[in-house]
Amino acid sequence: MINKDIVHQVACNISEKYDILLAAFNEKTACAKSYFEQRRYQELFLRQQERYRLYGNYVKEVFADTKDILGESLYNIDYWKAIKIDFTKEVKDKPHRLNSETFYNSITRKVFLDKSFNPDYEFFDYNDYKPMSKYDAEIFDVIECTHFSKVAIKQFLQYFKFDVPFEDLDRDAQLIFDEMAPTIIHQKSNLFLDRIEVLKPVFYRNRGAFIVGRIFYKNWSMPIVIPLLNEEKGIFVDSVIYIPADISIIFSFTRASFFVHTKYPAQLIDYLKAMLTHKTIGELYDSIGYYRHGKTILYRDLMNYIHNHDDKFLIAPGIKGMVMAVFTLKYYNFVFKIIRDRFDAPKNCTRDFVIKKYEEVEINDRVGRMAYAHLFENLEFPRNLFTHELIKELMDSCKEAVEFKGDKVIIKHVYIERRMTPLNLYLQNEANPINKGRVILDYGFCVKELAAANIFPGDLLLKNFGVTRHGRVIFYDYDEIAKVTDCRFRRIPEFNDEDDTRGHHDMITAEPNDIFPEEFKAFMAPEGPIGEIFLAEHNEIFDPKYWRDIQKRIKAGEYLSFFAYDQYKRFKKA
């Protein structure tokens, strides 16, 4: 006999605790405005880490509450079917209903830890994503204007009330106009507009504040993102980004989430999706800090893909990793990474060590150069979806993480990450020398930007980097990452023939944290023209002094600058 009072108590507790969690999330998010105005960037990064940990802490708390309330009925599925019905009633009119359902699922996943997902007592929608029926007035506002002009741009910028004045508003409005007007005229032969929409929340991250909107004329529209910086003389416009591919990079899976204060996350995501049609809904949720709901969307999309495509899991292209078994679906945009049971030499780390490294990446500022990976546990798939080669690979090296039960494959621990082309394969297969040159240069910029963020990749081989659809180089092998400040960058000692008859290498002693940058040249700079291009731009990477200088700046407390857009797009102030 089900006790309805207990059912109601559990449902209400989960719903109410998520409301409290969301309030705490929004409180930490709202601080970003004052931190931007006061240039407290290091503190903002700390708030970001605190905000990320909120969700897991509340899941633990509510799971403990649920155990106490349900007692011996904790694993009773009939109880959970009733709790789901009651919970649905509790959250049906809330603007964050979808996020509340994800939180509910997080509790049931703690209860039914060793069982696959069950839609009878958990929330799951096999339908494709559907936008909310309407945008709420809280999401965006409209600036009426007859044409694109400096006056309209100033209205757009002045919509936001900062406690710090603009350094030179007229100059910035003119810079935006001069940049955008030729493109608008090229698209539609005039500058007439119906309106400019502006999203009410500002998007804060690192040193920047991004204001977002769209310009409209009849059936034509253009997205617009304006990055603002705040320095000694005040706030100024650093650039204007209006090409969707460039905006997509700003909202990339390789970056820390924005601080965006809104009570209507689903409507905000719908607006962003209308601007960035190629960006997945899950990634957009990740980009505003709702990682767990982004994970829910990713799982739903995966299940829908499997149900609607005749596609099989297969070993991912590229050089086989010593730490991870990597597989994918032929036409799917993500890869699946499972930690192997044992690691061949020279790898000497443990499974727990690798898991810890992935956890570090989750909460770190990935500065647009490290892929975010969602961790999933106990995923269940039909065995016939796996190729014979992949089944053999998993049986041989991943027994701790994969279980074969009859016609089912249960994956106990897997990271799902955006699919990229391994850099070594890209350089091998790309026919266009211009693209190859651009990508090899970006490989060097990737290493430099990671270093500026106090991240040393450890293993700098080409195979550990990927190329995105936008041609950006991203690092994705985390088992050897370390802080730059924890490394000792040394020169290779020079010897003469009288030093030792045993051979020079026998005389070099090194600690685990000793790094010899001069050795990087052997594998970072490919032979031929693209290697020469790399050396011309990035030769300092092979000099220990370059790394020591970065260490000094970081230890001195300098917060190094990162930009989510190319340097050449930055405005040059007079």
Single pTM value for the model: 0.90
Q: CB burial class (10 A; 0-12, 13-18, 19+) of residue 65?
A: middle
Q: Which residues contact 26 (CB under 8 A, 6 or more apart)?
A: 261, 263
Q: Please tell me the predicted confidence (pLDDT) of residue 573.
A: 72
Q: Which residues contact 105 (CB under 8 A, 6 or more apart)?
A: 122, 123, 124, 296
C-alpha pair distances (Å), 498 with each of 99, 400, 493, 503: 71, 53, 14, 11
Task: Point out which residues pair with 215 in neighbouring strands.
Answer: 196, 222
**Would you state the torsion angle of the CA atoms of residues 4, 7, 12, 15, taken in this order, to the nearest 10 degrees?**
-140
DSSP string, 303-318: HHHHHH----EEEPSS
C-alpha pair distances (Å), 385 with each of 310, 404, 480: 9, 13, 32
> Per the structure block, which two tokens stand in for 59?
């899941």
- Look-up: residue for tokens 């970072």? 524
Give the span between the Cα atoms of 485 and 406, in whole angstroms: 50
Same fold, 305-419 and 422-569: no
Q: For 281, phi and psi rounded to 5 degrees?
A: -60, -40
Question: 241, 565 in Cβ contact below 8 A?
Answer: yes
Highest CATH level, class, for 305-419: alpha beta
Q: Please tell me the predicted confidence (pLDDT) of residue 541.
A: 96
Q: Please tell me the predicted confidence (pLDDT) of residue 381.
A: 93
pLDDT in tens, the chain (574 residues): 899 999 999 999 999 999 999 999 999 999 999 999 999 988 888 899 999 999 999 999 999 999 999 999 999 999 999 999 999 999 999 989 999 999 999 999 999 987 878 889 999 877 666 766 666 667 999 999 999 999 999 999 999 999 999 999 999 999 999 999 999 999 888 999 999 999 999 999 989 999 999 999 988 999 999 999 999 999 999 999 999 999 999 999 988 899 999 999 999 999 999 999 999 999 999 999 999 999 999 999 999 899 888 899 999 998 888 899 999 999 999 999 999 999 887 777 888 999 998 988 887 777 889 999 999 999 999 999 999 999 999 999 999 999 999 999 999 999 999 999 999 999 999 989 999 999 999 999 999 999 988 999 988 999 999 999 989 999 999 988 999 999 999 998 876 665 555 555 555 677 888 999 999 999 999 989 999 999 999 999 999 999 999 999 998 877 667 788 888 899 987 6
Q: Please tell me the predicted confidence (pLDDT) of residue 496.
A: 64
The DSSP code for 136 is -
Q: Please tell me the predicted confidence (pLDDT) of residue 499.
A: 56
- Map residue 334 onto helix, strand or coil: strand
DSSP string, 367-400: TTTB--EEEE-SEEEEGGGB-HHHHHHHHHH-TT
Give the span between the Cα atoms of 545 and 525, in whole angstroms: 19
Q: Which residues contact 488 (CB under 8 A, 6 or more apart)?
A: 511, 513, 514, 515
> Per the structure block, which two tokens stand in for 198?
């502006």
Q: Given CATH 3.30.930, say whether it is the number of domain 422-569.
A: no
**Domain boundaries of the chain, sorted by first residue:** 4-111, 140-303, 305-419, 422-569
Of 289, 121, 137, whose CA–CA distance to 198 is shortest? Answer: 137
Q: For 183, phi and psi rounded to 5 degrees?
A: -65, -40
Q: Strands 203-205, 208-217: parallel, antiparallel or unpaired by DSSP?
A: antiparallel
φ/ψ region of 406 (left if φ > 0, alpha if ψ in -120 to 50, else beta) reads left
> Per the structure block, which two tokens stand in for 534?
């790399």
Question: 123, 15 in Cβ contact below 8 A?
Answer: no
